[in-house]
Structure 1
C-alpha cells in the first residue's frame, strides 16, 4: 500500500506537475507504457511471493532520473528537493524488501514507518502549495494568509524528526523524536488555520484536502505524544497519517484531477462526499477504538471504510477516465 500504491501516485503526480513547472513534456506514449509495464511486473512478482529488486530499482531510477532531468534543465530550483526526497523513498522501499527477504521483520517495520514519515514531508511540501492555491480560487470568501516562517521551519523540523526516528533503531540516542514530531504537528495545524478551512465546508474537493491535512498535523502531534505517554500507541497514531492523510489526500486529488484533466467541471458526484467522509471515519476509528480495547473493530471499520470509499471512486470515475475528453 505504501510503496506500490502511495509512492506510485506521488511519482505520477510529480512527473505530471513537472510539465507545468518546467514546460518540458513528461513520459508519454510507448515510454510511459513501458514504465507502467515495469511497475505492473513488480506488482505481479510480489503477489506471487517473489521480487525482482533490479526491476523495482529500474522503475524508481528511470522515474526519478527523468524528473531530475526536467527540473534541472528548466532550472526549477524550487522543485529540486523532490529529487532527494524520492531517492530516500526508493532506498527505503528497496531496503524494506531486503529486510523482508532476510526475515528481519522488525527492521522492515521500522523502514516502512520511516517511509510514512517521509511521505508526510512530501504531503507537507505539495499540500503547502496546492491547498491554499485551490482554496483561494475555489472557496467563496476564503481568507487565506501566507505563512512564510512556518513554511521555512516545517521541512527542517520534520526532517529532524524523521532523522531521529530513523537513527534510533540503529544507535542508542539520549533523546526521542517526540519534540520535533510534536513541533511539526503544531506547525502544520497553525498553517492549516491560516488557510481558512471553514470557508471550504461547502466544497467537497476542498474540505477533503483540508481534512486530510488536519490528519497530518494531528497524526504527527500524537506520534510525538506516544513517546510521552503509554495511553497513545505509536502504531495507532500512525494510521491517522496512513489512512487520513495519505489515503485522504490521494482520493481528494485523483477525484479533482480526473475531472480537470478530462475537461469536466470540478463538481464530483454527490457520493464522493460519502467517500471522503469514509476515509476520515476509518482513520478516526483506527486510532480511537484501540484506546478502548476495541482494536479489532477499529481495523475492520478502517478496512471497510477504505474499500467502500475507493470503490465509490472507481464506480463513478472509471467511465470518465475511459471516455473522450470533454
Structure 2
C-alpha cells in the first residue's frame, strides 16, 4: 500500500520532535546547573556573591561620595543603603553560607544543595537587584524576598540541628532570627521615612554581628590555633564566657532602647566591659604562636580589632582629651578590621578545607590581609586629622583590591569539584 506524505503533517511532526528535543536539552542544561560543584554547599555561592556584592556596593558608594554617581534616593537613603549592603549584602551573606556549611559537619545531617541552593541563590540575587534599583516599590519587593531568603536559610539550619539534637548549636537559631528581624526592620523603617531609626538599627546590627563573631571566634580560633600552631590546650576562664554574652546582649538592648526613651545612662559601660572581656579572652589564646601562620594571625588580629572597636565605641560617649575617636570611626574599626578581616580569613580557610585542599594560604591572600589592615587604619585614623575624602577613597580602593584578590584566587576553587 502506497504511503501518502502530507507536507503539513510532516512539518507538524518535525516541529513536535524539535520542540521535544529543545525541551530535553533545556532540562539537561538545568540539571547540569543544579548538579554543578558550585551548588554543592552553601559556602561556595555565598562566599562569591557576598564578596562581589561588597565590591560593587562600595564602588557605588564611593562614586556617590565623589558626586560621580547619584544613587536613586526614592527607596533607601544612601547611608542606610551603604551600611545595609556591607552588613547584610556582604557579612551576613557569608556568615549564613558558612553556618549552613558548618552545620552539616556539626550535625552530620544534609544541608541545602543542588536545586534548592540554586533557588536560594536566585532569591538572594533578586534581593540585591531590587535594592540596587532602590525605589519604594523595589524596596518593598526586597523586603518580601529578603524575608523568604532568611526564612529558608533558618529553616534549613533548624532542621539540621533539631534532627541531630545538636543542642550546642541551638544558640545560632535566635541569633540568626534576630539578624533577620533587624535586617527587615531597617529596610521597612527607611522605606517609611523613619531614617534616623533605620540608621540607629543599622549601627545596632553591627553590634549584633559582634555577638556572632564572639561566639564563632570563641569556638574556632582557639581550636584552629591549637591544631595549626601545635600549642598546648587553649582554655580561657569560664567566667569570661559566662559574662560576655549577657554583657553584649544587654549593651545592644540599652543602645536600641536609648533611641526611643531618655535613659539615665548610656551603653558605654557595657561596651567597655564587652571589649575588655574580649581582650582578656584573647590574652589566653597564645596569639604570638600564630605569627608565622597567616590563616591564624589574621583571625587573632580581627578579634583584637573587635575588642578595641568596642572599647573605642564606649570611650566615644565620654569627653576625653587624650582620645577623641568619633563613634563612626570606632564603628569602622569593627566593620573593616573585625568583621572584614575575620570574614576574609574564614572564607580563605573554609574554601580550602571544605574542598579537600591543604590549609596552605596563597601568598596573594597575605597581601589581601595586609591591604585590609591598611584599610581599617586609614579609615579610622586619617579622619582624626580632617583628611576625610582621601580616607574614604583610599580605604574603598584597598577594600576592593582585597576583594578582587580573593575572587581571583578562590573562584577556580569554589567552582571546581572537591579534590578528594
The structural deviation recorded for 1:310 is 1.1
Instruction: Give 1:162's match in structure 2, choosing from 248, 252, 255.
Output: 252
Quick one: structure 1 residues 219 and 20, their matched pair in 2 at CA, closer, same or farther if it must change by over 3 Å? same
Confirm or deny: 8 A CA contact 1:142 1:199 kept in the other structure: no
Q: Is contact 1:135–1:142 with CA below 8 Å preserved after alignment?
A: no
Q: Given the alignment, which residue of 134, 137, 141 partners 2:224? A: 134
Pick aligned residue for 1:36 from 121, 132, 152: 121
Q: Which residue of 2 aligns with 1:9?
A: 94
Q: Does residue 408 of structure 2 align to residue 315 of structure 1?
A: yes
1:240 alignment partner in structure 2:
333
Q: What is the CA deviation profile of residues 192-240 of structure 1, one whole-angstrom value per residue up to 9, with x for unaligned ones?
A: 1100111000101000101111110000000001011362211110011
How many residue pairs end up in the alignment? 326
Deviant stretches of 4+, over 3 Å: 140-143
User: Shift of residue 65 of structure 1?
Assistant: 1.8
Higher relative contact order (CA closer than 8 Å, sequence separation 6+): 2
2:207 alignment counterpart = 117
Q: What secondary structure does 1:103 align onto?
A: coil
User: Given that residues 275 and 312 in structure 1 are in contact (C-alpha distance below 8 angstroms), is that contact kept between their aligned partners in structure 2?
Assistant: yes
**Contact 1:135/1:206, CA 8 A, preserved across alignment:** yes
CA distance in 1, matches of 2:263, 2:165: 39
Moved more, 256-265 or 113-122: 256-265
Q: Does 1:206 align with 2:296?
A: yes
Q: 1:177 aligns with which of 264, 267, 275?
A: 267
Task: Give, in whole Å, the separation in 1 of the partners of 2:309 and 2:98.
Answer: 23
Unaligned runs of 5+ in 1: none
Matches of 1:11 and 1:242, distance apart in 2: 17
Q: Indicate if the aligned counterparts of 2:332 and 2:379 stay in contact, CA closer than 8 A.
A: yes
Q: Counterparts of 1:83 and 1:321 in 2: how far apart (Å)? A: 27
Instruction: State whether residues 225 and 231 of structure 2, in contact with CA within 8 Å, keep that contact through their aligned partners in structure 1.
Output: no
Alignment-derived partner of residue 71 in structure 1: 161
Deviation per residue, 1:32-88 (Å, 9 max, x gap): 111111111111111111221221111111111221222123222221121111111
- Which has more radius of gyration? 2
Range moving further from structure 2, 147-156 or 233-242: 147-156
Query: RMSD of the TM alignment (CA)?
Result: 1.3
